[in-house]
Amino acid sequence: MTDVTIDLNGAKVSHAVEPRQTLADFLRELCGLTATHLGCEHGACGACTVLVDAQATRSCLQLAVMCDGRSVQTLEGLRNDPVMDVLKRHFHECHALQCGFCTPGMLITARDILRRLVKPEAQTVRHELSGQICRCTGYAGIVDAIVAAGQELA
């Protein structure tokens, strides 16, 4: 077991972990932060996307031990984030979710897109969403929501 300390959603969290434990399992099983979902565990679906040192990150492709000393933010930690508030409203209004399983990873990714790109167009948003799987919506509402949020925030 290896001791790991992570700045998690603004608070220091320490646990002894097996080196093989992914950040996703660290968050879900040890910290009780279950907004981060696991859809594939091999980096292809994006449901587990979180921020590590402010970078969008597959938490299934990150070992907890490798995040020692780093800062991690999950959807739970972005509750008062102004960009996230706007995104959530547009996700709601654009019917950008059905079963809700992909939603946390989509929101984290959407926020990352809007952090990097000003007023992205639909085509750009589609490209940026590559690697985020939603099985329900067919993506149209998600793309609309991110475009609308981008316009509102610009």
Partner 1 sequence: MADHAASDGWIGARLLRKEDARHLHGHGMFIADIKMPGLQDIAFVRSQHAHAKVRQVTKPADAAAQVFTLADIGPLHILEAGPELAAHRHSPYPALADGRVRYVGQTIAACMQPTRAAAEDLADRVSVEMEELPVVVDCIAAMRQGSPRVFENWADNAFITSTVNEGKPASLASAPIRLRRQFRMNRQATVSLECRGSLTYWDHRLNELVVYLSTQGGHVKRLGLSQALGLPEHQIRVIAPDVGGGFGGKNRLMPEDIAVAAIAMKVGHPVRWIEDRREHLLASVHCRDHAYDLTISADKDGTLLGVEGDVYIDAGAYALWPTGSFMEASMASRNLTGPYRIKHLKLNTFTVATNKAPMGPYRGVARPGACFAIERMVDEVARELGREPFDLRKQNIVTAAELPSRTAAGMRLDTGDYIASLDMARQMIDMPAIRKRQAAGEADGRAIGLGFAFYTEQSGHGTVEWVKRKSRVVPGYESASGRMLPDGSVIFHVGVQNHGQGHETTLAQIAAHELTIDPSRISIRYGDTATTPFGFGTFASRSIVFAGGAVAKSCRALVEKIQRIGAHLLQTDVANTRVEGGAVHGPSGKISFAEIAYAANVRQEHLPAGMDPLLDATATYEPTETGGVFSYGTHAVVVAVEPDTGVVEILDYVVAEDCGTMINPMIVDGQVQGGIAQGIGTALYEEIPYDEAGQPLATSFADYMMPCAPEIPKVRIGHLVTPALATEYGVKGLGEGGAIAPPAVIANAVADAFRSIGASFNETPLTPRRVSEAVDRARRAKGAAA
Partner 2 sequence: MKAAPFEYVRPGTLAEASAALGRDGITTAAIAGGQSLLPMLNLRVAFIDLLVDISRLEELRAVTETPDGLHIGALTTHAAIEDGKVPDLFGGLLRRVAGQISYRAVRNHGTIGGSVALADPAADWPGCLMALGASVRIAGRDGVRSEPVSEFVRDAYTTSLATGEIILGFDLPRPDAPLRWGFAKVARKSGAFASSIAFVVARGKGGPVSVVLTAAASRAHSCSQTAEQLEQGAGSDEALRRAIASDLLTFAQDADSYQQRLHTATILRAIREWRAQ
Binding site for partner 1 (CB under 8 A): 18, 20-21, 25, 28-29, 32-35, 37-42, 44-45, 47, 74-76, 79, 88, 91-93, 95, 97-104, 107, 122, 125-127, 129-144
Place of tokens 């995104």: 87
CB 138, CB 96: distance < 8 Å = no
CA distances from 113 to 10, 89, 128, 144 (A): 22, 17, 7, 13
Q: Which does 137 bind (CB under 5 to 8 A by kind): partner 1, partner 2, none?
A: partner 1
Least spacing, CB of residue 49 vs partner 2, in Å? 5
Q: Which does 31 bind (CB under 5 to 8 A by kind): partner 2, partner 1, none?
A: none
Q: Which does 19 bind (CB under 5 to 8 A by kind): partner 1, partner 2, none?
A: partner 2
Q: Find residue 73's DSSP bridge partners.
A: 51
Closer to partner 2 at the Cβ: 33 or 92? 33
Least spacing, CB of residue 83 vs partner 2, in Å? 17
Interstrand relation of 49-52 and 11-17 (parallel, antiparallel or unpaired):
unpaired
Element (H, E) at 91: helix 82-93
Measure the CA–CA gap between 109 and 57, rounded to whole angstroms. Answer: 9
Binding site for partner 2 (CB under 8 A): 2, 18-20, 22, 25, 41-43, 46, 49, 55-58, 60-63, 65-66, 68, 109, 112, 116, 127-128, 130-132
Q: Kindly provide the residue ranges of all beta strands, DSSP E only, lying in 85-128, ordered along the sequence.
A: none
Measure the CA–CA gap between 121 and 123, rounded to whole angstroms. Answer: 6
Least spacing, CB of residue 4 vs partner 1, in Å? 16
